[in-house]
Chain A
Amino acid sequence: MSISVKKDKSTQEDIKMSNENFITLLVVCVAIGVFLFASLLVPNFFQFQNMVNLVTNNWAVISLGVGVTFLLVSGNFDLSVGGIVALSGVLAVWFAQSIDGANALSSGGGLPTYLAMLFALAGAMAIGGLNALFVVRLKIPSIIVTLGTMMVARGIAQVITHGSQRNTNLPDDFGLLGNLTLFGTTIKLPVVLMLSLVLVAVFLERKTVFGRLTYWIGSNPVASKLSGIDSSRHQTYLYLFSAAIAGVVGILLASEFKSGFSNRGMLMEFDALVIALLGGIAIAGGFGSVIGMFFGAIILAVVTSAATGLVLSPDWQFILKAIAVFLAITTQTWALARRNR
């Protein structure tokens, strides 16, 4: 008997761009394509203001998406962000309400606005710390932990607001941040912050050690350990980072609506996950870009607003999201498999 060893073929290939850039580019093309397609179907869709709205109306989910994306790349879920949004908003309002309110729901900490918001942010990051404790230290699967902490965060918000909201007795400057517009245009501060966050995130992921660590840990946790990376510390930072983003989003929303509503941010964590998946972030970790997530958000926004434009009931969004994620996952897997054959 005899057997031959095959010669290796990989030296003959010539790759022009990395898999990640390929997928991101694919997502951008799909976003543009979907937009053009929707413009054909929906009257008045192809307008500049509409394009702007796609981004500005979704500033909250995109911001949350940044944190969720980083955590997914490192190999973990964060489903607590929606709850943190509610909690930080409620805390900010509660801390800022004057002490001498007429009833329980009108009285709060009496702190000046900036302090109230700072403490609210601290509360948000405490939830992030809780996430880190359970996922990193106790090594419990992140999907369970973050579902639990999401409920704990929202639960605390519900207790503080007795199940509804707090919106009275607030200092005048409380509504400033959420409603501030830029140099006389109609662009609000939260949108500007979101865009800055996305740019910072792109910089982080491509050009900093922090970003590169995230990819190393997600790509191969064992090799990371054997290469001297302290993944516990980094994952903790990631959870705190994501919680901080969610905290700021919650505070800005509370400021915009001048109320702390315990139902705010409901299901936002799933939307953040959806846009990350649409954007090509791999569940396995170590792959995907924030740019993809951004355009994934555009795809989702186009799909949902086109549905509204076609006078479909808002209930359609659930089915559309399901189909969109399904198509995204299957086509990305198929496209990568074909490319790497």
Chain B
Amino acid sequence: MTFQSHLASFLRNYYIYLVLIGVVLLLSVANLDRFDFFERGNFLNQKNIINILRVSAPILTLAGAFTLLMVSGYIDLSVGSAMSLSAVVYAMLVINGMPFLPAFGITILVGMLLGIINGFLVVRLKITPVIATLITLSLYKGIALLLVQDGVSAIKSGGGLKMPAWFNSYGRSGILLGLPMAFWVAVLVTIILIVIQNRTLLGKYAAATGGNPTAAKLSGVNTGKVVISLYVIVGITAALAGIARSSFMSLGDPLSGDGMELTAILVVLLGGTAFSGGEGKVLRSFVGALIIMALTVGMLTLVPAYYQTLVIGGTLLAAAASNHLVSRKAAS
């Protein structure tokens, strides 16, 4: 291989890390002392980084599973609602006296169930994934809203019930390097998913199902089981994300996951995941999530909050365009 093709291949594999470094550098250079959220001066100080990583726990948890699902050629637009519903369930269980571990465990089971429903609709009933997960997006959101009584916006302390003091330690209290358990769980989940993608049959079959489903089936791969498993994994990570968000905010907000599916799509696109399936890496999506969160939070200090939607929308379009152009070039 020539130097040029070496360079091209290096860029293709590692561009995302370069983008991350670039974004961090850019934000460091900008003047951030206008808001209390950040300590004066440098973006790269400990308090800022901890803040950003704490807030990023949900998307960091979700990104890898979402990537694997898209690698297999399928999508889940209901992750935001699943996350909200999990947050509400978790908060409800805790505020009514259940201790951490059982509440945690039951919420995870709820996430699995939500994933099974998605898998059933898509694989057994053969409903197009976009429509099927739009249906469940609405369904899960509705259930979350109903679980919170009228007149109250979320499950939180008040009206005779009090959220225990330990509730927000999962999402807020630093246990290692100043970062909370929610973050480290996200890291653990990502590591597990990297291993799944690279070292297990599920990872290999996901790529096969997305790359050439006919070939996969002819080879004896049970693509239905593969896809349902992936939806279940997404459901579990959505539940984890909901627990993280709920703990961070000390309440169970049925709208907390709104828009998460868009963020997830943006993040995996940044990480080079193709919509048609077959391509995509868990680690790259993790980095993509870091980039988006750094941008989002860093942006908050530079421009007013109401610029956010525009910037995210624009980034989504840019990421989709460059993703598509790159993969078309590679194919030719």
Which A positions have Cβ atoms within 8 angstroms of B?
A: 77, 130, 134, 138-141, 143-145, 147-156, 158-159, 161-163, 262, 270, 273, 277, 283, 313, 315-323, 325-326, 329-330
Contact = CB atoms under 8 A, between A and B. Distances in A.
B310 interface: yes
Contact of B320 (A77, A148, A161, A330): A148
Interface size class of B (residues with CB under 8 A): 35 or more
B154 to A, nearest CB: 13
Nearest to A273: B134
Nearest to B126: A333
A322 B139 contact: yes
A288 to B, nearest CB: 14
A87 to B, nearest CB: 11
B143 A145 contact: no
Interface string B292-332: 00000000000011111111111011001100110000000
A38 B138 CA distance: 22
Contact of B141 (A162, A318, A323, A329): A318
Interface of B is mostly: helix
B320 A144 contact: yes
A130 B317 CA distance: 10
Contacts of A145: 317, 320
A274 B262 CA distance: 19
B142 A316 contact: yes
B142 A322 contact: yes
Indicate the member of B150, B304, B324 with the most A CB atoms within 10 Å: B324
Given A151-B316, A313-B146, A270 B307 contact: no
Contacts of B138: 270, 318-319, 321-322, 325
Contact of B128 (A283, A313, A316, A320): A283
A134 B321 CA distance: 8
Given A148-B317, A151-B262, A155-B312, A315 B324 contact: no
B321 A155 contact: no
B135 A270 contact: no
Contacts of A147: 262, 265, 316
A3 B204 CA distance: 41
Contacts of A316: 142, 146
B127 interface: yes
Nearest to A320: B142
B136 interface: yes
Given A159-B306, A322-B135, A317 B130 contact: no
B146 A140 contact: no
Nearest to A152: B313
B142 A318 contact: yes
Interface string B96-140: 000000000000000000000000010001011011001111110
17 contacts: A130-B317, A134-B317, A134-B320, A147-B265, A148-B314, A148-B317, A151-B309, A152-B314, A153-B313, A154-B313, A155-B307, A155-B309, A155-B314, A315-B145, A316-B142, A318-B139, A325-B135
Indicate the member of A138, A150, A151, A154 with the most B CB atoms within 10 Å: A151
Contacts of B146: 313, 315-316, 319
A257 B12 CA distance: 51
A330 B143 CA distance: 22
A277 B131 contact: yes
